[in-house]
Structure 1
């Protein structure tokens, strides 16, 4: 039983069942994106609730609230570099986290540019930054729950598929492929988070050398961001025109980076994945008795 439990938490050299399921899911997503209906942009594409110009800056709040993306991206890259120098991370996890934090920086620039000068081209720049961050997060989740090969496959597929979807959007105005990419990506992230939750309930620690990112927390912040985005005007009215739902959406979406930053905290011990390891009650910076520091 012990060997079976351990094998579930390691990435074998031969193609695994989970890798096969991931490939099937990716093929299904591609088929859905190609076979779906044409979805044109809505008439309110650029109609955000807060249109104020402050300090000479058009749409100031929607522009300035992108600053947390840049700050967390820079902080994340610095913390990641420190952990890499310590030799504490596997290459796949480090690459995925680096892609995610770089995507935050691109999102900050693209979104700020778009809200400053709303236009079809700047909107695509905004989405391109989001795509890089999204690909990094999905690759990180795949490395956490499946393995390095799955992380590389998923990250590359999302980047390539997202670039194709944005090209289709820019040329034809069809949003369907982009919507499929976002929706299927979130479903996959939910499935990986559920797998992590099951592993936790079974008393198993994160896979060896993985970060142990709380995918549930990432999803929670993302879900809050989508709710605030949907309630843009309602939040603006409820706050007496102080702040809009879309501005708060930027802050909530940026906070989705916090679970990754927390997983990279200095001195954090990456537990071995063994049944019965007392990782639930252990503080993250403390090693279990008898464990050797590397």
Structure 2
């Protein structure tokens, strides 16, 4: 009898989580759509593709801006290796799936950003931004799984992916950057809200504050591209550092998976 009541309570809690998730995700998507369609026109800045470091190394143009994307590939490979060696009982299917989406997204970011910086223009930038949508979605799914439960992971991931991809397509069609800025900014606000919630015991236990801090530092370096290049006397640009710090934002996820792997090895 106690098992029946416990099962009913679990089913009831999951239903509540699903309802709350549907309301939050639906409201956020509706708000994004309204603001994207009715908000002001935000043009992409003139000279957006004119990065500070124009040096080539042999056949590689804009070499450091291209090669600094290797950090994404290293993080993706490290994360894939940890997931492959992690016993299935150490984490839920939802957490494992969100981590897989995140690391696949990092590999996509390596390819998309390298392609863009090899020949920066609007056409290659679209591929770069489409690639960025995938790790954004995976990270939001991980945060939702950690804070709200497994049932919240996929809706958050899919909503982020759909809105970010739609934002890129809207920008391509109209030239209006607003939808992309709203997708990024809105996703970060939701991530901040989830980070402020208490971590569930069944979550992956990612230190989301570090993810947010490292991403914020990356954005600061992006904005200070030319200034950092000048301050470093031409050694490295802000945009190259932006890639390295954005890739470093994967470290809290890698640390959480490594901790589970270590715990599993201890019990064996």
Aligned to 1:102: 104
In structure 1, the residue matched to 2:13 is 12
Matched residue, 1:28:
31
> 1:12 is paired with a residue of what secondary structure?
helix
CA shift at 1:18, angstroms?
A: 4.3
| Deviation, structure 1 residue 27 | 2.7
> Within the alignment, does 1:250 sit opposite 2:243 as a pair?
yes
2:44 corresponds, among 33, 41, 45, to 41
Name the counterpart of 1:267: 261
| Alignment TM-score, normalising by the size of structure 2 | 0.89
Q: Deviations over 1:53-92 (max 9, x none)?
A: 1223110010000001011101101111221x44311111
Q: 1:238 aligns with which of 228, 231, 252?
A: 231
In structure 1, the residue matched to 2:55 is: 52
Unmatched 5+ residue regions in structure 1?
A: 1-9, 200-205, 271-284, 287-292
Aligned length, in residue pairs? 256
* Structure 1 runs, 4 residues or longer, greater than 4 Å off: none
The corresponding residue for 1:170 is: 172
Q: CA RMSD in A?
A: 2.2
- 5 Å-filtered alignment, 1:102-251, equals 102-195=104-197, 199=198, 206-251=199-244
Q: Gaps spanning 5+ residues in structure 2: where?
A: 1-10
- Mean alpha-carbon deviation: is it higher for 140-149 or for 250-259? 140-149
Deviates more, 1:154-163 or 1:246-255: 154-163
Q: CA deviation at 1:46?
A: 0.2
1:13, distance to aligned residue in structure 2 (A): 2.0
Give me the whole-angstrom Cα distance separating, in 2, the residues matched to 1:97 and 1:15: 24
